[in-house]
Amino acid sequence: MNSSDSALVTAASAGSELLSFASKLYPICRSITGNGVRKTLALIGDQIDLKQHEVPSGATVFDWEVPLEWNIDDAYVLDAHGCKIIDFTAHNLHILNYSEPARLSVSLEDLRPKLHSLPDHVDWIPYRTSYYRRQWGFCLRHRDLTALQPGQYQVRIDSTLAAGSLSYGECVLPGRVKDEVLFFTHVCHPSLANDNTSGMAIATALAAWIGGQSRRYSYRFVFAPGTIGSLCWLKRNEHRLARVRHGLVLGLLGDPAPLTYKFSRRGDCEIDQVVPYVIRSINPASGTIAFEPYGYDERQLCSPGFNLPVGRLTRSVNGGYAQYHSSADDLNLISADQMQTSLEACKRIVEVLESNRRYLNMAPKGEPRLGKRGLYGSVGGRSPADRERAMLWMLNQSDGTASLLDIAERSAISYADTRTAADELAAAGLLKTLEGPKPERAAALSRRRPASRVRPLRAQGRKDKRKGEK
């Protein structure tokens, strides 16, 4: 077996491991609180070092309150003949998530307003929730709804709404510096595969992989219920948010759509440069979308009181595929290949974040003589001309303002070749590594262009985003 064959086999088995973990998570009835989340965190905790946190019901979290804990054992509706016409044990989407307990006899007329279906997709069960309005309800295939006959129905919901707690999990991987990269994924959806067993499986595998790497940054993975879970995490971690240098919300990473990056609210963070670069290098059809206060936990992480440098990586976007929030978002929608490519993208993003640095040219007056330092000639399969070109770009741009990725993008030389050139020049004493965050991009841009030709950064961002949406 040659090395490229073995790489393919490794990639394929990693993809099937992701899919098999997603399949394990899929049947669990999750919600924003309860044992489904705990069971999910336990499975994730079998693979990575995960600390489980509990926030008690009634705890005030900014403008919100942690609700009563919801658990459910069984729920069904019997028709006049005693036949189960809706059965929670057959599919957990059949219950309106967070339904209060119920045991009653109702006419079809009274039952009808409690039933939810999708008239445009008669064979799919919708996913519906009612976290903050106490009620009960069922979801069913529209085909089954329209077949219901007039008569009495027996409704039984064995659920509990009681003082308990909200659970979230956290995996912290310390690095050489305390600055952190934050990965966030939601763990509150029941049997929906893309949204979000795919995100949970990929975040778990990514944490396991980073755990085995030598790393500059510290990494923090948060597995939390959407909205109220991220608010709880923010409330408990407010004192350390200044350490978050980069962040990414992960979700919806298993479906066939190309990867999509959603910009942070700030729009000009390093993560906003790194992720579009990486996903387009993997597949030019990958896209970007502008920030909007709608979606997953970027809504909380990028609220104005936090405004964290956090973007979002998905394939399809929330609401952007027909099967979204329905029983058709099942294990057939996600594939090992798609999951594997998504994980690979996350790994490359981490590699660029880890290695993206600024350098200072130590011989900036004229071009230094490369030949006398042994920096001419063919190395590592690159032609002497390509090697020299990458070095000249590195030397020319390394005035302390441009990062490796800035230089790779400006020169159209690959990031890997730019990085190799930087390593070789640093080893020869021609470049010095600079630590710490780079000056604001806007400042760097204005230094690179004559003042009269500087376009406002915000306008450039808009143009880039439109390009990506096609």
Residue numbers at the binding site for Zn ion (CB under 5 A): 195
Rounded Cα gap, residues 307 and 40, in angstroms: 29
Question: Taking a C-beta distance cutoff of 8 angstroms, is the pair 308, 230 a contact?
Answer: no
Closest to Zn ion by CB, 321 or 359: 321
What is the smallest separation between the CB atom of 28 and Zn ion, expressed in angstroms?
A: 15
Question: Taking a C-beta distance cutoff of 8 angstroms, is the pair 37, 190 a contact?
Answer: no
- Alpha-carbon torsion (261, 264, 267, 271), positive or negative: negative
Beta bridge partner(s), residue 289: 262
Closest to Zn ion by CB, 153 or 223: 223
Structure tokens at 160: 């509990």
What is the smallest separation between the CB atom of 195 and Zn ion, expressed in angstroms?
A: 4
List the end-to-end C-alpha distance of the chain, in Å, as a whole number.
Answer: 41
Residue nearest to Zn ion according to CB distances in the complex: 195
Structure tokens at 380: 């590592």
Structure tokens at 226: 């959407």
What is the smallest separation between the CB atom of 288 and Zn ion, expressed in angstroms?
A: 21
What is the smallest separation between the CB atom of 186 and Zn ion, expressed in angstroms?
A: 7
The residue among 413, 438, 432, 282 whose CA lies nearest residue 353 is 438
C-alpha angle 339/343/40, rounded to 5°?
70
What is the smallest separation between the CB atom of 166 and Zn ion, expressed in angstroms?
A: 18
